[in-house]
C-alpha cells in the first residue's frame, strides 16, 4: 500500500487545491458535529440522575429539583444538546456541578498547561528520536545500531507513568535536583517553570521518543534505498555523507507527519503524567471531574480533546495537500 | 498531642536543605534574617480537596477546614482543648431552662468587604440554616428563632434545650455570613477572619492573605497557600523537595519514620475527631441479627486494620467516641479479635454461606481496611465482595444517601459524629429507644458532668447493640520543615486555624 | 486524516528492510514468543497454584524483604509479592484478550464492508471510523468510568471499541488489495455475493495482518490497562493486577522501591514481548502489509 498516498497526489492547479482544502474543512466540521453527538450521548443518555451525587446527603427532593432546574437537567435531551453545543461554539461549556463555576475558563487554563507539557514532550521526543533513529538506520547491521534498536524497543515497553515515578524518585527525592511536581506558569517565574516542566516532559518524551525513533529509523532506511541515494553512493559518497547531503530532509517529512499522528497519544499520555506530577492540566481536571461525577465538566474536557485531535489532523492533512513532499523529492 | 517528636536544628544540614528549597513559596519573600518574618508566606500541603467554597451546600470537610477560623468566623470557637470560647460574641448567658442563649457581640468587627458585623448578621446567618444541604444542619435544628435585642445583643431561642448548641455554633454551622455575599458562596469567601480569601484554583491551590484590619491578633504570616495533593506520597515528596513548607493531615504514614529521622523536618502527631467505622446495614436480613454483627466485630483484627490503614498510627477504638471526647470510654477490649468465638456466634445464629456486599470509598485507607476485613471475614466463612466507589460523589449518593450497601467503611472526621446514632434515617440505620433516651438526656443536660454521663450511657448502649465496628481514631500527622512554628497540631473537626503560624528564616 | 494513517503505516512497513533472511523475523518471534509465553504461563500457573494466597493480608508481615516464605517479600498489606505478580498476569492478559477480540469483532466486518462497498457507503463508513478514532482508547475508558465507574469490564469494552477503528482501517486496505487480485475479480465477475467474497477470499488472505494487528493490539491494551489501574479506574481491589500494584506501591516508593519495580518490570516485559512478536510476525507474513501501531 505504500503507493496509495502518492498516486492520489497528482499535480493540481491552484483552484483544485483550494477546493480540496475547503472540502477537508467541511469534512472536519461535519466530523466535529458527529463527535459532539457521540460525546453528548455517552455522557447524558447512559448515566442516571447526577443531582443526588452532587448535593450532600441532607438534600431534600426540593433541593434536587432546584439543582436540576438550575443546570437545565429537567429539559428534554435535544434541547439540552442544542444548548450545550451552541454554548460550546461560543466558548461556554456550562456550569460545573461540583465547583459551581463556569467550566470553560477552567478547561482553557488547564488546556494551556497541557499543551505546553505536550509541546515539551514532543520536543524531547524529537530530540531523542532523530539522532537515535538516524544512527540506528545508518549503522543498521553493526552492533551499535542493533543496540540502539534494542534500546528503543525497550523504551517503548516502559509505561510513561512508571518512567515518571522513577524520575521523581531519582532526581527529585533522591538527588534533590528537581521539584517533585507542581506547576508555575511561565509568566510567574520562568526558572521555576522550567524546573517543574523538566521531569514530566522527560517522562512523556522518553517513551514517545523511543517510538518515534523507530519511525525515524524506518524513514531513513526508506530514503537510503531510494534511487538518488544509490546514485550518490555509486558516485563514491559514504552512506552517512550521502544521507546528510540528500536524504535527511526527505526522511524528516514523514517523521513530522507521524509526530502529528502521535499527538493524540501524547495528549492521553499527558493525562497520566499530570496526575503523577500534580500538574493542573486537562488530565488532572478530567480525573477530578470523573471522581466527582461532574459530567458536564467531563463532557467539556472530552469534547475539547476530541476537537484538538481532529484539528491537528486537519492541519497536517492540509499541509500535506499543499506541499506534497513526494512531488518535490527526486522520484 | 500525644507523642511529640521534635528535632533540634542541625545547622549544616538545614542550610544545605534551604539551598535546595530555593523555589519554595516560603522563601520567595526574600527575608533572610533570623526570627519570625512579618512578611513571610507559608505553603501547606493538604490531601482532601474542596469541591468549591460553599460548605453550606457542598459536603466534605475540606472546605470549612480551609475557610473557617481563617476567613469566616462564628460567635464562638473551640480552643485548643476543644472547649467553647468567645469569638465574635464577647460573652453569653444561657437561660435557666436552657432554651435561650443571649449573646453580647463585639462592636469593632467588619467583614472583609466592609459590611459591619452586628446582631442582624447573626439573625440572618442562623435563620439561613434552613438552606444548608450539607454538613448536618439538623444538628442545630433546635434553633427556633433569633431575636435582635440591640445592634450588639442577640438572643437565640431554642424550641427545646440542646446542650450541644454552643458546640455546633463553634463549628461550620455557626458561620457568620454577610447577606450580600451569600449568592457567591461557591466562588468567593467574605468573612470577618484574620485572612482574606484571595483565590482558589480548583483542586490545586487556595491563597489566603493576612487581613491587615483584623479586629484581633493579626496573622503571623502575610500569605498562606493551601496546596492540594490527592496522593499522599506526592505531598510528602513536595515537602522533601521544598514544594511546600508543611503538610497537615499527612497520610503518607509509611514515610513518617523517615521524616522523623531527618533533622530538617519536625514531626508532630496530634489528635483528630475521626472515627473509622465499619457500618453494617440493618436492612440486610442476616445483619439485622445482633449476633451476626457481633460475630463480624469479633472476627476483625483491629490491630491488623490499623497496621494496614495507618501503619499503626492512631488509637484502636471499639466504641463510637474518641479519646478527646469528654464522654470517651475505652472500648478497645470489648470485642477482642477472636475468630473462634465469632464462628460459634454465627453457628448459634444459624447463619451459613453468608455473602456480603462491601461498598467502599476509593481512598487508600478504605481500600486497605476493606481488604483486611474481607480476609478476616473469609476466615469465619463470610464471603465479601468489594465494590469501590468514587469518593465523595458516588459513595455519598449510593451508600450514604440511598443506603444501598451491606458493609461499608469510612473515616468520619466530623466531631461528635456519635450523635448520628440518634438519627434512624442516617445511613447507619440505628434505631434504639434506649439510646435515644440517653441522647435526649444529654441534650437536656445543664452541666458538663450530666452531659458526659448521659453520652457515656448512650455510647454503652450503642456499643452493646453493635450497629458497626469502630476501628480506629486516626492521628493528625503534621510534618513541617524546620522554622515553621505554630501549626495547628490537633484537628478539632472545625476549621484549621492558620493565623498562629510563623516562619523563621 | 486517512492520509496520515497511511503515512504512518508506510513507515511501519518500511521498517522491515533488513536483508531478508530465509526465515524472516525468526529471532524476533522466538524472543517475543518466549517473553509472552512466560507471561501466559505465569497467568495459567496462578490459576491453579501460587506460593501464597495473593489476597491474604497479614499485618505482622507487612513490608518484609525476601525470605523463604516470601520469595520476593511482602507489600504494604503483608501480601506475598511473588504470588501477586503471578496472579497479576491474569488481568492484563484477560483485558488484552477481550479488548482484541472486541476490536476484531467490530473492526473486521466493518473494514471488509467498507472495502467491498468502496465508492458508496464505504467512504462514509471510513469517515465514521475517523470520528471514532478521534477518541483515543484510554479517553474512551475514562469516559465510561465516569458513567459507570471504573472496572475491568469497562476497561475491556472501552479499549476494544477504541482499538476497532485501527483494525477496520487495516482490514479495509488489506481487503482492497485482495479485491484487486484476479481471483477476486473473477469471483465478482461470476456474480458471487459480498458474503462469499468476504469469507472465501478476503478473510483467508488477510489472516496474516489480522494476527499481527491482534498481537500489537495486545501490547497496547496491556499498557492501557496498567495506566487505567494506575489512575484508579481499572481493576478494583482485591483482584491483583500489575497496574494496581504499581499504584499501591507508589506511596511506598521511597520506602520499598521494589514494590514499584517488580510490577513495572512485569508490565514492560509483557509489552516488549508482544511488540517483538508483532514485529517478527509482520516480517514473516508480509513485509509490505500495512499495520497500524
Min mean pLDDT across B437-446, C33-42, C68-77 is at C68-77
Min mean pLDDT across A57-71, A272-286, B383-397, C258-272 is at A57-71
CA distance A298 to A303: 8
Q: What is the ipTM of this complex?
A: 0.85
The cell 451508600 sits on which residue? B399
Q: Is the pLDDT of residue B42 over 70?
A: yes
Structure confidence by residue, pLDDT tens digits, B113-158:
999 999 999 999 999 999 998 888 989 999 999 999 999 999 999 9
Distances A253 to A128, A258, C11, C13 between C-alpha atoms, Å: 17, 9, 11, 17
Q: Is the pLDDT of residue A236 over 60?
A: yes
Rg over CA atoms, chain C = 22
Q: Within its chain, how far is the Cα of A79 from the centroid?
A: 32
Quote the pLDDT of residue A182.
87
According to DSSP, residue B504 is labeled B
Strands B223-228 and B41-46, bridge-based pairing:
parallel
Q: Which chain C residues contact residue A171 at CB under 8 A? A: none
Structure confidence by residue, pLDDT tens digits, B458-476:
999 999 999 999 999 999 9
| Closest chain A CA to residue C226 | A159
Mind listing the domains of chain B with CATH numbers? 2-190+477-503 (3.90.76.10), 275-473 (3.10.105.10)
> For residue B407, which phi and psi values (nearest 5 degrees)?
-125, 150
Quote the pLDDT of residue B15.
33
Distances B351 to A268, A289, B355, C285 between C-alpha atoms, Å: 50, 42, 10, 61
Distances B470 to A173, B416, B462 between C-alpha atoms, Å: 37, 14, 11
Q: DSSP E strands: which ranges in B308-348? A: 315-316
Cell of A195: 524546573
Q: Which chain B residues contact residue C60 at CB under 8 A? A: 304, 307
What's the burial of A134, exposed, middle or buried (CB within 10 Å: 0-12/13-18/19+)? buried
Q: Is the pLDDT of residue A70 over 90?
A: no
Q: Within its chain, how far is the Cα of B251 from the centroid?
A: 14
Q: Is the pLDDT of residue C22 over 50?
A: no
What is the rounded average pLDDT of the residues B500-504?
Answer: 92
Measure CB to CB from residue A181 to each of B52, B234, B393 and give the nearest one: B234
Q: Return the higher-pLDDT residue of B22 and B489.
A: B489
Structure confidence by residue, pLDDT tens digits, C112-150:
999 888 677 888 898 899 888 888 899 999 999 888 888
Sign of the CA dihedral with B21 first, then B27, B32, and B38 last? negative
CA distance C64 to C256: 9
Q: Determine which of C134, C228, C260 to mutate to test the interface with A (most A C-beta atoms within 10 Å).
A: C134
Distances B315 to B248, B271, B324 between C-alpha atoms, Å: 18, 10, 11
Q: Determine which of B306, B363, B364, B409 to mutate to test the interface with C (most C C-beta atoms within 10 Å).
A: B364
Quote the pLDDT of residue B59.
82
Quote the pLDDT of residue A220.
80
| φ/ψ bin of B75: left (φ > 0), alpha (ψ from -120 to 50), beta (otherwise) | alpha
SS3 B336: coil
Q: Is the pLDDT of residue B279 over 70?
A: yes
Structure confidence by residue, pLDDT tens digits, A87-119:
999 999 998 888 888 999 999 999 999 999 999
The cell 511482602 sits on which residue? C74
Quote the pLDDT of residue B6.
35
CA angle C84, C85, C89 (to 5 degrees): 105
Instruction: Render A23-53 in DSSP notation, one character per residue.
Output: HHHHHHHHHHHHHHHHHHHHHHTSS---HHH
Q: Return the higher-pLDDT residue of B79 and A12.
A: B79
Partnered with residue B459 across adjacent β-strands are: none
Quote the pLDDT of residue A139.
79
SS3 A272: helix
The cell 469567601 sits on which residue? B189
DSSP element (H, E) containing A228: helix A227-234
Q: Return the higher-pLDDT residue of A45 and C40.
A: C40
Structure confidence by residue, pLDDT tens digits, C194-207:
888 888 888 888 88
Yes or no: say if B318 and B470 are a contact pair by the CB < 8 Å rule: yes
C271 to chain A, minimum CA–CA distance in Å? 5
Quote the pLDDT of residue A233.
63
Q: Which chain B residues contact residue C251 at CB under 8 A? A: 231-233, 252, 254, 364
Q: DSSP E strands: which ranges in B211-344? A: 223-228, 246-247, 265-270, 275-280, 315-316
Quote the pLDDT of residue A331.
31
What is the rounded average pLDDT of the residues A50-64?
Answer: 69
CA distance C94 to C92: 6
Q: What is the pTM of this model?
A: 0.87
Q: Which chain A residues contact residue C14 at CB under 8 A? A: 2, 218-219, 221-222
Q: Return the higher-pLDDT residue of A239 and B40.
A: B40
- Neighbouring chains of C at 3+ CB pairs under 8 Å are A, B
Quote the pLDDT of residue A239.
60
Q: Is the pLDDT of residue A152 over 90?
A: no
Q: For residue B74, what are the contacts with CB-CB under 8 A and spacing of at least 6?
A: B68, B87, B88, B169, B170, B171, B174, B175, B176
SS3 C198: helix
Q: Both ends of chain A: CA-CA distance in Å?
A: 17
Mean pLDDT of chain C: 84
Which residues does A contribute to its contact with B (CB < 8 Å)?
52-60, 63, 98-101, 106, 109, 168, 172-173, 176, 178-183, 189, 191-192, 195, 275, 278, 280, 284-285, 288, 290-294
Which residues does C contribute to its contact with B (CB < 8 Å)?
55-60, 62-63, 76-78, 149-150, 232, 236-238, 248, 250-255
Q: Determine which of C8, C14, C133, C276 to mutate to test the interface with A (most A C-beta atoms within 10 Å).
A: C14
Measure CB to CB from residue B136 to each of A58, A109, A179 and give the nearest one: A58
Measure CB to CB from residue B374 to each of C58, C238, C255 and give the nearest one: C238
Considering A14-18, B146-150, B443-447, C151-155, the range whose residues carry the highest mean pLDDT is B146-150
Q: For residue A60, what are the contacts with CB-CB under 8 A and spacing of at least 6?
A: B133
In chain B, the percentage of residues whose pLDDT exceeds 90 is 76
What's the burial of A145, exposed, middle or buried (CB within 10 Å: 0-12/13-18/19+)? middle
What does the CA dihedral B102, B103, B107, B110 come to, rounded to 10 degrees? -120
Q: Is the pLDDT of residue A325 over 70?
A: no
Domain boundary assignment for chain C: 24-54+72-284
CATH of domain C24-54+72-284: 1.10.3720.10
| Closest chain B CA to residue A165 | B234
Q: Within its chain, how far is the Cα of B431 from the centroid?
A: 25
Confidence of residue A248 (pLDDT cuts 50, 70, 90): low
Q: For residue C226, what are the contacts with CB-CB under 8 A and spacing of at least 6?
A: A159, C92, C234, C242, C243, C246, C267
- Neighbouring chains of B at 3+ CB pairs under 8 Å are A, C
Asked if the Cβ–Cβ distance from C14 to A222 is below 8 Å, we say: yes
Quote the pLDDT of residue A47.
63
Q: Is the pLDDT of residue B247 over 90?
A: yes
What does the CA dihedral A184, A186, A192, A198 come to, rounded to 10 degrees? 90
Give which of C88, C213, C248 is closest to C152, Cα–Cα. Answer: C88
Helix, strand and coil in chain A, % to nearest 5? 75, 0, 20
What's the residue count for chain A?
A: 331
Strands B502-503 and B275-280, bridge-based pairing:
unpaired
Q: Is the pLDDT of residue A201 over 50?
A: yes
Q: Which of residues 333-372 of B touch C (CB under 8 A)?
A: 362, 364, 367-368, 370-372
> HEC profile for B139-162?
HHCCEEEEEEEECCEEEEEECCCC
Structure confidence by residue, pLDDT tens digits, C59-80:
888 888 888 888 888 888 889 9
Confidence of residue A44 (pLDDT cuts 50, 70, 90): confident
Partnered with residue B116 across adjacent β-strands are: B110
> HEC profile for B27-67?
HCCCCCCCCECCCCEEEEEECCCCCCCCCCCCCCCHHHHHH
Q: Is the pLDDT of residue B356 over 50?
A: yes
Amino acid at each position: 500500500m505504500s503507493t496509495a498516498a502518492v498516486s492520489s497526489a497528482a499535480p493540481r492547479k491552484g483552484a483544485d487545491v483550494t477546493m480540496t482544502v475547503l472540502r477537508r474543512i467541511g469534512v472536519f466540521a461535519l466530523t466535529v458535529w458527529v463527535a459532539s453527538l457521540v460525546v453528548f450521548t455517552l455522557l447524558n443518555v447512559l448515566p442516571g440522575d447526577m443531582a443526588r451525587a452532587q448535593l450532600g446527603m441532607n438534600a431534600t427532593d426540593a433541593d434536587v429539583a432546584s439543582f436540576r432546574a438550575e443546570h437545565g437537567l429537567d429539559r428534554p435531551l435535544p434541547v439540552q444538546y442544542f444548548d450545550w453545543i451552541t454554548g460550546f461554539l461560543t466558548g461556554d461549556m456550562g456550569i460545573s456541578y461540583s465547583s459551581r463555576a463556569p467550566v470553560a475558563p477552567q478547561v482553557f487554563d488547564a488546556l494551556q498547561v497541557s499543551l505546553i507539557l505536550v509541546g515539551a514532550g514532543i520536543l524531547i521526543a524529537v530530540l531523542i528520536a532523530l539522532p537515535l533513529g538516524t544512527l540506528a538506520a545508518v549503522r543498521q547491521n553493526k552492533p551499535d545500531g542493533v543496540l540502539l534498536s534494542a534500546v528503543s524497543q525497550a523504551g517503548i515497553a516502559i509505561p510513561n507513568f512508571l518512567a515518571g515515578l522513577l524520575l521523581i524518585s531519582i532526581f527529585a527525592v533522591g538527588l534533590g535536583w528537581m521539584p517533585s511536581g507542581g506547576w508555575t506558569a511561565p509568566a510567574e517565574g520562568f526558572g521555576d517553570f522550567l524546573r517543574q516542566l523538566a521531569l514530566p516532559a522527560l517522562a512523556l518524551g522518553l517513551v514517545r521518543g523511543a517510538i518515534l525513533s523507530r519511525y525515524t529509523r524506518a524513514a531513513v532506511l526508506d530514503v537510503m534505498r531510494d534511487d538518488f541515494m544509490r546514485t550518490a553512493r555509486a558516485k563514491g559518497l559514504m552512506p552517512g555523507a550521502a544521507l546528510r547531503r540528500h536524504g535527511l530532509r526527505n526522511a524528516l517529512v514523514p517523521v513530522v507527519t507521524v509526530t502529528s499522528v502521535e499527538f493524540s497519544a501524547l495528549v492521553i499520555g499527558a493525562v497520566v503524567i499530570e496526575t503523577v506530577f500534580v500538574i493542573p492540566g486537562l488530565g488532572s481536571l478530567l480525573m477530578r471531574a470523573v471522581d466527582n461525577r461532574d459530567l458536564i465538566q467531563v463532557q467539556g474536557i472530552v469534547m475539547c480533546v476530541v476537537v484538538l485531535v481532529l484539528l491537528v489532523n486537519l492541519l497536517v492533512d492540509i499541509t500535506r495537500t499543499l506541499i506534497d513532499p513526494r512531488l518535490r523529492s527526486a522520484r | 498531642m500525644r507523642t511529640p517528636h521534635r528535632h533540634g536544628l542541625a545547622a549544616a544540614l538545614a542550610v544545605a536543605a534551604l539551598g535546595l528549597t530555593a523555589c519554595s513559596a516560603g522563601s520567595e519573600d526574600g527575608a533572610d534574617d533570623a526570627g519570625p518574618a512579618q512578611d513571610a508566606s507559608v505553603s501547606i500541603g493538604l490531601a482532601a480537596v474542596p469541591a468549591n467554597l460553599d460548605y453550606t451546600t457542598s459536603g466534605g470537610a475540606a472546605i470549612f477546614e480551609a475557610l473557617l477560623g481563617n476567613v469566616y468566623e462564628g460567635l464562638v470557637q473551640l480552643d485548643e482543648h476543644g472547649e467553647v470560647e468567645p469569638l465574635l460574641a464577647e460573652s453569653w448567658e444561657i437561660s435557666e431552662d436552657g432554651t435561650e442563649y443571649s449573646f453580647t457581640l463585639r462592636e469593632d468587627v467588619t467583614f472583609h468587604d466592609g459590611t459591619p458585623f452586628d446582631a442582624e448578621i447573626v439573625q440572618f446567618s442562623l435563620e439561613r440554616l434552613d438552606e444548608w444541604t450539607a454538613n448536618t444542619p439538623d444538628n442545630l435544628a433546635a434553633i427556633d428563632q433569633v431575636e435582635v435585642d440591640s445592634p450588639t445583643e442577640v438572643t437565640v431561642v431554642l424550641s427545646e434545650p440542646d446542650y450541644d448548641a454552643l458546640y455546633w455554633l463553634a463549628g461550620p454551622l455557626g458561620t457568620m455570613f454577610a447577606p450580600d455575599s451569600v449568592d457567591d458562596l461557591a466562588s468567593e469567601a467574605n468573612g470577618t477572619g484574620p485572612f482574606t480569601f484571595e483565590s482558589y484554583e480548583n483542586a490545586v491551590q487556595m491563597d489566603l492573605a493576612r487581613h491587615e484590619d483584623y479586629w484581633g491578633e493579626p496573622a503571623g504570616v502575610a500569605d498562606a497557600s493551601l496546596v492540594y495533593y490527592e496522593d499522599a506520597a506526592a505531598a510528602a515528596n513536595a515537602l522533601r523537595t521544598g514544594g511546600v513548607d508543611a503538610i497537615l493531615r499527612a497520610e503518607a504514614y509509611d514515610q513518617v519514620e523517615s521524616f522523623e529521622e531527618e533533622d530538617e523536618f519536625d514531626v508532630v502527631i496530634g489528635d483528630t475527631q475521626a472515627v473509622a467505622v465499619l457500618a453494617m446495614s440493618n436492612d440486610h436480613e442476616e445483619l439485622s441479627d445482633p449476633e451476626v454483627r457481633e460475630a463480624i466485630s469479633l472476627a476483625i483484627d483491629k490491630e491488623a486494620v490499623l497496621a494496614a490503614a495507618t501503619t499503626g498510627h492512631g488509637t484502636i477504638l471499639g466504641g463510637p467516641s474518641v479519646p478527646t471526647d469528654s464522654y470517651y470510654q475505652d472500648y478497645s477490649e470489648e470485642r477482642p479479635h477472636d475468630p473462634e468465638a465469632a464462628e460459634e456466634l454465627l453457628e448459634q445464629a444459624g447463619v451459613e454461606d453468608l455473602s456480603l456486599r462491601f461498598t467502599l470509598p476509593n481512598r487508600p485507607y478504605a481500600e486497605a481496611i476493606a481488604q483486611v476485613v474481607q480476609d478476616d471475614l473469609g476466615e469465619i466463612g463470610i464471603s465479601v465482595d468489594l465494590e469501590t466507589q468514587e469518593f465523595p460523589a458516588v459513595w455519598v449518593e449510593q451508600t450514604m444517601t440511598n443506603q444501598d450497601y451491606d458493609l461499608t467503611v469510612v473515616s468520619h472526621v466530623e466531631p461528635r459524629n456519635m450523635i448520628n446514632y440518634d438519627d434512624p434515617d442516617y445511613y447507619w440505620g440505628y434505631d434504639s429507644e434506649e439510646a435515644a433516651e440517653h441522647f435526649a438526656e444529654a441534650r437536656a443536660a445543664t452541666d458538663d458532668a450530666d452531659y458526659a454521663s448521659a453520652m457515656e450511657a448512650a455510647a454503652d448502649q450503642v456499643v452493646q447493640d453493635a450497629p458497626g465496628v469502630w476501628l480506629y481514631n486516626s492521628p493528625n500527622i503534621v510534618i513541617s520543615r524546620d522554622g515553621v512554628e505554630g501549626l495547628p497540631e490537633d484537628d478539632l473537626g472545625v476549621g484549621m486555624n492558620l493565623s498562629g503560624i510563623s516562619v523563621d528564616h | 486524516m486517512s492520509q496520515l494513517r497511511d503515512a504512518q503505516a508506510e513507515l511501519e512497513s518500511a521498517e522491515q528492510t533488513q536483508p531478508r533472511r530465509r526465515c524472516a523475523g525468526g529471532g524476533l518471534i522466538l524472543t517475543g514468543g518466549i517473553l509472552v509465553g512466560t507471561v501466559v504461563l505465569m497467568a495459567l500457573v496462578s490459576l491453579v497454584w501460587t506460593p501464597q494466597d495473593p489476597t491474604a493480608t497479614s499485618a505482622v508481615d507487612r513490608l518484609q524483604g525476601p525470605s523463604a516464605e516470601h520469595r520476593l517479600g511482602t507489600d504494604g498489606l503483608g501480601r506475598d509479592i511473588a504470588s501477586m505478580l503471578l496472579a497479576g498476569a491474569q488481568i492484563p492478559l484477560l483485558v488484552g484478550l477481550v479488548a482484541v477480540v472486541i476490536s476484531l469483532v467490530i473492526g473486521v466486518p466493518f473494514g471488509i464492508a467498507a472495502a467491498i462497498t468502496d465508492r458508496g457507503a464505504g467512504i462514509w463508513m471510513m469517515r465514521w471510523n475517523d470520528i471514532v478514532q478521534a477518541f483515543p482508547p484510554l479517553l474512551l475508558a475514562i469516559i465510561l468510568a465516569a458513567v459507570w465507574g471504573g472496572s475491568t469490564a469497562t476497561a475491556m469494552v472501552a479499549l476494544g471499541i477504541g482499538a476497532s477503528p485501527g483494525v477496520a482501517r487495516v482490514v479495509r486496505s488489506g481487503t482492497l488489495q485482495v479485491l484487486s487480485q484476479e481471483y477476486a475479480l473473477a469471483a465478482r465477475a461470476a456474480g458471487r455475493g459480498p458474503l462469499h467474497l468476504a469469507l472465501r477470499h478476503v478473510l483467508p488472505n488477510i489472516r496474516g495482518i489480522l494476527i499481527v494487528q491482534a498481537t500489537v493490539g495486545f501490547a497496547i491494551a496491556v499498557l492501557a490497562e496498567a495506566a487505567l489501574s494506575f489512575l484508579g479506574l481499572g481493576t478494583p481491589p482485591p483482584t491483583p493486577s500489575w497496574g494496581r500494584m504499581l499504584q499501591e506501591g507508589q506511596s511506598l516508593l521511597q520506602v520499598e522501591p521494589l514494590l514499584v519495580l517488580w510490577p513495572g518490570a512485569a508490565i514492560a516485559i509483557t509489552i516488549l514481548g508482544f511488540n517483538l512478536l508483532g514485529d517478527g510476525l509482520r516480517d514473516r507474513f508480509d513485509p509490505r502489509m500495512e499495520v497500524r501501531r
